[in-house]
Structures are given as C-alpha cells and as structure tokens.
Amino acid sequence: MLTVQEILSHKQFKDAEIIAGKAGLHHTVKWIHIMEVLEVQELIKGDELLLMTGMELKNNESGFIQFIQQLAAVDAAGVCIEYGRYLAAIPERVKKVADELQLPIIVFHKQVRFVDITQSIHTEIISQQYEALKVLEDYAQKINKYSLKVTDAEQILMYMQKYLQLSVVYESKDQPTTFIPNRNKEVFEHLSHRKTKRLASRDIHVFEQPYGKVYIYALDRDLTDLDTLILDRTVVTLSQYALRELYTEEKLESEHRQFLEQWLDGAASDDEVTHFLQDQGISLCDQPWFVMVHQLKRDRKKKDLMYYKINLRQLMEKEGFRCFILEQQQYVIFILGDLRDKESYRARMKRAMNDIISQYRAEILIGIGKYGVQYNNLVESVSSAKTALHIRMKNMDLPYFYDDLNLHHMIFTLQKDPFIMRMVAERIELLSTYDTKHNGSLMDTLQMYFLCNGQKKETAEKLFIVRQTLYHRLEKIEQILAMDLMNYHHRILLEMMLLVATQKTTPQ
C-alpha cells in the first residue's frame, strides 16, 4: 500500500510542501478524493487523501480547525490544499492542531491538475491491489499444503509470522497464550489496550463456536490490507486444521464403543472405569455425572453424524462438561462429567440446549437424565434420560430434565397399564359423552376447577361464567360420576384420571 510519504515522491508533488502533521507521513493511502465540503464524516471511509482548493476554508479558521479534527476522527490519510485564489497561507493554530493529531497538511505552491494526480495515484493503487491478490492466492495455496504436514497449530502460525515478518499472538481456549516471537510481549500488551492500526485480530470458530483468537502486530508501521487478508486466510486454515484434529479425536473415541456400552449398562467394574478416565487424562471420579440422550430424525441419521457429534461436543465443553459420546440404535448418548459448580448446572445446560435447538430445530428430541450419579453407576441416569425423552415425544414444550418430569413420569407409567386405562376411560368417557350429546363443557369445567385448586370464584372468572352456572355444572359432574368433589380421595383420584386421560406423554 502507498503511504503519504511515498506519494510525495510522485512528479505531481514536486512543488508540494508538507507544512504540518509530519508525524503522519506513514499513513496508508487507499484512495484520493477531490472534495470542497467541510462536513466529511459520512463521505469518507478512512485512509483517503483529500485534494481541495480550500474555498470553504477562506477566512474560516474555526471551521478549518473543525475540519482537521473531523479528518483525524475518521482516519483520513491527510489533506492537500492548492494555494492561490482562496488560500495563501495556513493559520498557525490549524498547523498546531494538525501536528497534535498527526494529520499531514500538504500545500501546492503552484497550480496542479487534480485529475492528473487521481489518475496517476489510482493507477498505482489498483496495480498494487492486483499484485496483492496474486500474493494472497500464492500464500493460500502454500499455507494449505503446509497445513497438511504440520503436527500442531503453532507451526501454522510460525509460517505466517515468517511470511509477514510481523509478531503473532495465539490465544487458545485450552492452551497457554503463545507469542511468536516470544520477545515482544510488552509491545503487544501496550498495543492491545489502545486504538491502533498496528494491530489486528481474528477469531477462530469451529461450528460457529469460539476456538481461539489470533493477533498480528507491527513494531514500526501500520498494518496493510494484505497483512489482514493473509491473517484471514491463516485463520481459515487454522479452523480447518482444528476441525481435522477434532474429527480424528472423534474417530479414536469411537473405538471406545464397547467400553462405553458396558459403562452405561453397569457392567464395567470400578477399576475399569477409573482406568478409562485416567487413560483419557482426566480425574473426574468425584465429579457429578449424568446422561443426555438425543433421538434424531431419519434424515439427520442419514447425514454425517461425525460432524454432529463434534459440534455438540464443542457446545458441551464450552459450558464446562467433559463429554463421551456413543451411538446406540436410534439414540446418540452423551455421558457428561460436570467440571464446574453444581449450582450453575441447569443454567449451563439450558444455554447448551438453546444453542442445539437453534441449530437443529425439530431434527432432534432430547432428554436429560438424573444428575449427580456415581461415575461407575450410570444406569439410573441413562434410564431416566430415555424416559424423559419418551415423555417429551408428544409434548416438546415439557422440560428437558427428568427431575422436572416426576408427575409426568407417574402418568407415563400409569398410561402403560391397560387395567388403569380401562378404568379411566369408563369414568372420563361419561363426561365426554355427556358433552357431545348436550353440547356441554363439563370436561373443560372440571379441568379448570382443578387448575384453580377448587377456588370456585376464580374458576368461574376464568371460564367467563357466573358462579351459579358453575355450581350447576359441578353438581351435574358429581351426579354423572357418582363422586363427591369435596371428598379428598375422590378429588385426588379424579384429578389423576383426568391427567392420565388428557396428558400427551404416551410415545408412538
């Protein structure tokens, strides 16, 4: 990229003089504008050099100062003013402000053709951009080939550092911060706490999850567009490398399938589980454990489950859960060890669930088993997770957590008993038959009555009827069912029957 200093060497600037802001001669020039207005905030993007005759600046010192301040605020490269018809000198106060803001002011002592300047400089800028694209394409091919041979991400970063001759910093989610070269830590700390064109950063994402961050910074110059484009290309390569690593890890973990099945079934001994965890480089024996079960739709099962598992492993580990994954028939089972505090477990799981649902929507059904089971006894958690999943099959609005589904589990169990379902049908069908024959609302009335805990005034208000009508309906219900709604046992039995008859928990 051209700098203000380099532009001054062009023949069109042979009679030009820089009279203020010399400390900004290193500013990059991405384009040149011919402009005479003073309100420029919305007109330029930054790194532009302005050409003007100064007709709006004549006898307007305060406006001139504000103009210089605006240019500095939007990161303009500088301003060139032609002496002659409108201006013959730059006020000293204006020069002082330009020096303070490091904004170059260049004056032409002789008349120049602005069109010649723009044509010449723009031709050179476009030529440089074309050359930069060729350099970027060459770099992209080389870094891609090189990444296939490396054994860690740091080697990729070292390749970029050598290519750019800049300093590099790598922040990884599970590794100490890496400085390349190691000697410039203090400079990085200084630059990272202020606005500067000498530092740029890019986040590394894998499946839209943060994986790390890369910085590049220069000791003695502003970064160029090519520098940041090469940084972008390197970050893409790092993301691909990280994905390959995760894919390899997932394939290796699939070799543990037999042990994971034994672990879930309770067939693995305490020593076997402990040895397995230690072999994974973790010590989670005393941590809370639980199981999450996913049931995928058929179209999702046909797709590459490997990437699905890698993505979800990233989500769970981001929230502090150590994750082992097992495919089993129509299920994907997650064995989760909690690395953080128990109190935040639900909030962290809900965040993870929201991320999963936002990505996969209706493609999956999820159940979360009992939390805090022993690491060597996951049978109860996997069983309760599958139960939660089956309960939610007919009502996706129910909670994910088995611990929030105790009543629904009771109903789910009762619904599987044919004798109980026959008894329920005999009672409840009496009300539904009456409603059908007389166009009545006894079923709705009874449900609302129970929802309002037997409060008749509240029930009548929610049904939008007068209390006398409610009394009449309740009497009719007692007559049909031959049950006393004021009797505690009758009321409990009838409420449970209603739930069994109407609750959508039975799986298909």
- Tell me the C-alpha to C-alpha distance, in Å, between residue 459 and each of 381, 473, 476, 492, 494: 40, 12, 16, 18, 17
Residue 384 and residue 392 in contact, taking contact as beta carbons nearer than 8 Å: no
Q: Of the residues 251, 278, 304, which one is the last residue of a structural domain?
A: 251
Rounded CA gap, 226 and 224, in Å? 5
One domain for residues 267 and 382: yes
Q: Of the residues 232, 251, 270, which one is the last residue of a structural domain?
A: 251
Rounded CA gap, 216 and 227, in Å? 8
Which 3 state secondary structure label does DSSP give 179? strand
Rounded CA gap, 233 and 221, in Å? 21
One domain for residues 281 and 239: no
One domain for residues 322 and 440: no
- The CATH number of the domain where 172 resides is what? 3.30.450.40
Instruction: Kindly report, residue by residue over 385-397, the tens digit of the pLDDT.
Output: 999 998 888 778 8
Rounded CA gap, 122 and 129, in Å? 10
- The CATH number of the domain where 317 resides is what? 3.30.70.100
Whether residue 125 is contained in a domain is answered as no
Neighbours of 314 (CB within 10 A): 21
One domain for residues 177 and 216: yes
Whether residue 343 is contained in a domain is answered as yes
Q: Which of 19-33, 58-72, 267-281, 341-355 has the lowest mean pLDDT?
A: 267-281
Question: Nearest to residue 95, comparing CAs of 204, 17, 173, 190?
Answer: 17
Whether residue 430 is contained in a domain is answered as yes
Contacts with 390 (C-beta within 8 Å, 6 or more apart), sequence order: 367, 412, 505, 507
Rounded CA gap, 165 and 220, in Å? 12
- The CATH number of the domain where 68 resides is what? 3.40.1390.20
Report pLDDT for 93. Answer: 93
What is the DSSP code (8-state) at residue 373?
Answer: B
Confidence tier at 508 by pLDDT (50, 70, 90):
very low
One domain for residues 429 and 493: yes
Q: Is the pLDDT of residue 229 over 90?
A: yes
Q: Is the pLDDT of residue 489 over 90?
A: no
Instruction: Kindly report, residue by residue over 246-258, the tens digit of the pLDDT.
Output: 777 777 666 788 8
Whether residue 73 is contained in a domain is answered as yes
Mean pLDDT of 491-497: 81
One domain for residues 420 and 376: no
One domain for residues 399 and 262: yes
One domain for residues 197 and 278: no
Whether residue 210 has a cis bond before it, omega within 30° of 0? no
pTM of structure: 0.53
Residue 392 phi, psi dihedral angles, 5° rounding: -80, -5
One domain for residues 295 and 324: yes
One domain for residues 31 and 108: yes
**Which tops the pLDDT comparison, 304 or 150?**
150
The dihedral over CA atoms of 5, 9, 12, 13, expressed in degrees to the nearest 10, equals 60
Mean pLDDT of 191-219: 85
Whether residue 124 is contained in a domain is answered as no
What is the DSSP code (8-state) at residue 216?
Answer: E
Averaged confidence pLDDT in the chain:
85
Report pLDDT for 111. Answer: 86
Q: Of the residues 404, 431, 447, which one is the last residue of a structural domain?
A: 404
Q: Taking the mean position of all CA atoms in its chain, how far away is CA 329?
A: 31
Q: Which of 11-15, 132-136, 359-363 has the lowest mean pLDDT?
A: 359-363
One domain for residues 291 and 398: yes
Q: Which of 138-147, 202-211, 411-420 has the lowest mean pLDDT?
A: 411-420
Rounded CA gap, 390 and 400, in Å? 11
Rounded CA gap, 409 and 261, in Å? 25
Whether residue 369 is contained in a domain is answered as yes
Determine the structural domain holding residue 373 and report its residue range.
Answer: 256-404
Q: Is the pLDDT of residue 242 over 90?
A: no
Contacts with 469 (C-beta within 8 Å, 6 or more apart), sequence order: 460
Whether residue 120 is contained in a domain is answered as no
Confidence tier at 274 by pLDDT (50, 70, 90):
confident
One domain for residues 211 and 264: no
Whether residue 182 is contained in a domain is answered as yes
Mean pLDDT of 467-488: 88
Which 3 state secondary structure label does DSSP give 323? strand
Count of domains observed in the chain: 4
User: Would you say how long the chain is, in residues?
Assistant: 508
Rounded CA gap, 432 and 97, in Å? 86
Spell out the alpha helix ranges (H) of 91-178.
Answer: 92-101, 114-147, 153-164
Q: Is the pLDDT of residue 304 over 70?
A: no
Residue 411 and residue 421 in contact, taking contact as beta carbons nearer than 8 Å: no
